[in-house]
Amino acid sequence: MRQPTGDISERSAAAHGTAAHGATSRRGFLKGAAIAAGALLVPVSLARDVLAAEETSYEITDWIRLEPNGRTIIGLSQCEVGQGVYTGLPQVVADELEADWATVSVSFVTGRDAYRISAANEETQQFVGASMSVTQFHQRLRIAGAQAREALVQAAAARFKVRATQCEARAGRVIHLPTGRSIAYGALAADAAKLPLNPNPQLKAQSERRLIGQNLKRLDTPAKVDGSAIFGIDVRVSDMLFGAVRMAPTQTGKVIAVRNEAEILARPGVKAVVTAPFWPLPAPTTVIVVADSYWTAKRAADALVVEWDAGIAATLDSGKIMEQRLAALDTDKAVVATQIGEAEAMLAAAGSKMIEARYHTPYLVHATMEPVVATAHVRDGEIEVWGPIQGQDMVRKTLGKHFNMAPEKVIVHTTFLGGSFGRKYVPDFVLHAAVASNAVGRPVKVIRSREDDIRHGYYRPCASARFRATLGDDGYPTALHARVVGESLYAMIKPKAMEAAGGWDETMLDAIYNLAYAVPNLTVDNVNVKQPIPVSFMRSVGSTSAVFFLESFVNELADAANVDPYLYRRHMLAQDPRALAVLDRVVDGSGWRKPAPAGIHRGLAFNLYTGRGGAFKTYVAQVAEVELVKGRIAVRRVFCAVDTGNVINPGLVKANIEGGIGFALTNTLKSEVTFANGGAEQSNFHDYPLLSLAEMPRIEVALLDSDRPPQGCGEVALAPVAPAVAHAVYRATKVRLRAMPFSQGLT
């Protein structure tokens, strides 16, 4: 874990800013700091009632401002996409700060090193991803809270003219213990803001925690039940115009010419017709119509007559992609990620005793309920953007490069995100808004239609796998060769790092290259089947393919050995007590050992989720209960046991697990993006359907007690769903479902 103290000590030297919304930072003011673009910007993600009450506040640390009237403003650097950081991270700060939770409001912060993190030795940046918000910020925020608490205690001691050791912070006040006198934090804010921060503050002992571990209600719920929460699509700035896009029919299509531009420009309300690239490629792939209302822009965009160059992907076709994947499964040119012992030689010698299975997963699209949308205002020497942004520094870098400006000249306002799942880290939609604004010299909000959102995504890559094993006399594998092939995500996102690692893609082999199961002879390799299809991170990334392959194969081996799949895993995980604990818990909680109700069939799967670059360890085990209704799979209940370390807020973790299972069921049962004639064949929810309320199973979550620091939890519940459901179906029908989505396999 990165030590936060470096960032915080930098703070005193850096020219960090007064809040741009006028809440004067006393600390910043005293140090004569300039207003830094991008620092503590207008928190458009706040509920309106909070915004309305802005007044003087005093910055105590990068994360904490206090108002004399008693309000505690806690900075949030991680965008709220639904995962609950808007509540869970301030909860950590407030616990160490010993704040009165009822006084806490949350403000989105950006533009300082304190808000930046790094995944797997990648560039340090402000972003949400890889289930790292809690693992990376937990300690940093505890220190910030403790620093502020100590400063407040010191300020109170000076006011009382007593020693600080006689004072204690408690629920938003500092108490002089011998006399019982107390002062509220708000009254101490101005004094505390002038004090230096202790680089090594005393953190609370576990027994002193009042908020961490509590099931506090989400702070963003009120604004999300009365329509006042501001999402990207809701941004309105003065003098704003609206943009609607028309994108190429093929993945790499380019605009040759707009044939009816004059006619479109003559429409009432239309201001401009602009061409724009589709990040990261420079070619114009998109036409944006800018108008005085979205509906005017949308109708005009639909009426555009565009001549397109189909580009290099003109013949892109899912059938051909599958042929390439099947060929790659049997190539002798795979890149080896893990080699232990002599697996391949043993398998070659095993003859008919070798067990082999092949599995497939399709391309998927994020399909966030809020399509990608952003508002931008490109001015002389600076750009201001507002939107559902998952990577603030990615946006700064991308726009800075495109408009030849320093990244810090890009002012980023982050709204609530109407879903993201990785999608809104990609800056393509913000670039569209900026290009449109630059053309008209006014702020423009560009809304992508659902159709173009699906047809021009950054997809979860497809994958295929070939698993081979031989079993010893006891039924357990003596040799395993696992191969996964498909379009490599890392080859697009970070080709140099992938090459440096030997040319294999960690995401493609998630949970396989670092196999948790004890297998004495193991070969793991992969093949990049290159395609001109943009791919990116999608919730749980490669594990939604790799763990489906791995866990399905483990279930097949257990069946071959005629051993209960729970006991089979227990045997191969015997060296890891945490793995055994989640397996035992899921079996106890689900009733695995008892007969299932009539018509119900159970399947089990396990995952040790290690995050990007092995950043953490979260253990998950699931039992799915499935009923077959006229040949259709109905998942009735999922029991999920999780060890995600120390839990900050059990309600938030459970919500992540529940939602993750529902998200995974959509992937498992329904989702597939296919390509024909160069373009995606799906375009809206009729052909890219999502799980419905009626199809949502009962979900029970058991969180295991843990003395480990908090581990990642936002992505961990997805991967075991498909193999657990597949095995339940096998036990009901003896049909192996080896290709997702399962809607393809049971008719």
417 or 439: whose CB is closer to other proteins? 417
CA distance 53 to 33: 25
Place of tokens 């991308």: 398
Q: Which one of residues 659, 678, 710, 741 is an interface residue with other proteins (CB under 8 A)?
A: 659
569 or 637: whose CB is closer to other proteins? 637
31 or 224: whose CB is closer to other proteins? 224
655 binds other proteins (CB under 8 A): yes
84 or 186: whose CB is closer to other proteins? 84
Give how far Cα 402 sits from Cα of 112, 126, 373, 425, 506, Å.
Answer: 22, 20, 19, 17, 31
Tell me if the bond preceding 741 is cis, omega within 30° of 0. yes
204 or 636: whose CB is closer to other proteins? 636
Confirm if 152 and 192 have CB atoms less than 8 A apart: yes
Minimum distance, C-beta of residue 289 to other proteins, in the bound complex (Å): 15
Q: Which one of residues 53, 202, 256, 295 is an interface residue with other proteins (CB under 8 A)?
A: 295
418 or 710: whose CB is closer to other proteins? 418
Q: Which one of residues 210, 218, 494, 731 is an interface residue with other proteins (CB under 8 A)?
A: 218
Confirm if 14 and 408 have CB atoms less than 8 A apart: no
49 binds other proteins (CB under 8 A): no
Element (H, E) at 160: helix 133-160
243 binds other proteins (CB under 8 A): no
Question: In this structure, is the dihedral angle defined by the CA atoms of residues 670, 675, 680 and 684, taken in order, positive or negative?
Answer: negative
662 binds other proteins (CB under 8 A): yes
Tokens of 726: 């597949």
451's CB contacts (< 8 A; 6+ apart) are 683, 684
110 binds other proteins (CB under 8 A): no
CA distance 308 to 288: 15
Burial of 615 (0-12, 13-18, 19+ CB in 10 A): middle
188 or 233: whose CB is closer to other proteins? 233
Among 219, 20, 11, CA closest to 115: 11
691 binds other proteins (CB under 8 A): yes
404 binds other proteins (CB under 8 A): no
102 binds other proteins (CB under 8 A): no
Residues 296-335: x/- map of binding to other proteins (CB under 8 A)? x--x------------------------------------
Any alpha helices (H) in 530-649, and if so which ranges? 543-561, 565-572, 577-590
Question: In this structure, is the dihedral angle defined by the CA atoms of residues 716, 722, 725 and 726, taken in order, positive or negative?
Answer: negative
Residues 428-447: x/- map of binding to other proteins (CB under 8 A)? -------------------x
Q: Which one of residues 3, 293, 315, 575 is an interface residue with other proteins (CB under 8 A)?
A: 293
Instruction: Pick out residues in 409-428 that bind other proteins (CB under 8 A).
Output: 416-421
Q: Which one of residues 514, 696, 736, 745 is an interface residue with other proteins (CB under 8 A)?
A: 696
Half-sphere exposure of 413 (CA within 13 A, CB side): 27
CA distance 491 to 627: 40
Minimum distance, C-beta of residue 685 to other proteins, in the bound complex (Å): 4
Minimum distance, C-beta of residue 118 to other proteins, in the bound complex (Å): 26
Please give the residue ranges that form the binding site for other proteins (CB under 8 A).
80-84, 217-218, 220-231, 233-234, 236, 242, 293-296, 299, 367-371, 416-421, 447, 449-451, 651, 655, 658-659, 661-663, 665-666, 684-686, 690-694, 696-699
